[in-house]
Structure 1
Amino acid sequence: MGPYANPSQPRRSPAVDTLRALVPETADVIRVRAATPTAATGWTWTQAEVLSAYQWPPYPGELLHPLAHTADDSTHASLTICEFLAKHQSAGNVRLVRASDATYTFSIILSRPRWEDWDEM
């Protein structure tokens, strides 16, 4: 973002935009599950799916609002998520929620909460 960019708008990146294309445009946070990388897969992400998508609540401390019909286990979604995780798994907007022997579940922030802008006013 440049010095004159609107701070109320989240930083956009091509990587996050590829994930945005998989869920409703109103989604702020998504939860994805990916198969655990193994030696057989060359330690790369090979299978993944969108589990759910959420909107930020109007005020801090409230629960996220789930969006309907957001699960996606298509091949396109899997490839998109795996490519994103391969490059951005350690990014600040990606949080590991659960790990098991078979899968990892991540929460990925697509846009920042609206209440973060309150401090800037």
Structure 2
Amino acid sequence: MSLGITLVSHVPEIAEGLPKLLNQVAKDVPITTAGGTNDGDIGTSMEKIMNAFDDNEADEILAFYDLGSAKMNLEMAMEMTDKKTVHLYDAAFVEGAYTAASLIQAGVGLDEIESQLKPLKIKD
């Protein structure tokens, strides 16, 4: 089982920039993004999220988002994807993704990753 990360942000530049940080600690972790709407505005896009899932080479995806409507679109995309499993986390966006990426890179299992993400939960 391989683990990867998908990041969903309302701001295209955040979705593009965060993987640059994560690659510093997790160069071997597949990271895909969906940032902004289809026309590059602020918001989210189901099409971009589905493409991010499809483009991620991992068997299972850990998904992180910035705002509530991104979560709604992620939940709909999770129902439609062919990926084995997508795990959605209500954690702080940057801190959660950084924690998960560094732990995946270190070979830590999903149970321990989820345990370490619990203190970062800030959304419901």
**TM bracket, shorter-chain basis:** under 0.3
TM normalised by structure 2 equals: 0.25
Write 1 or 2 for the structure with the bigger share of helix.
2
TM normalised by structure 1 equals: 0.25
Write 1 or 2 for the structure with the bigger share of strand.
1
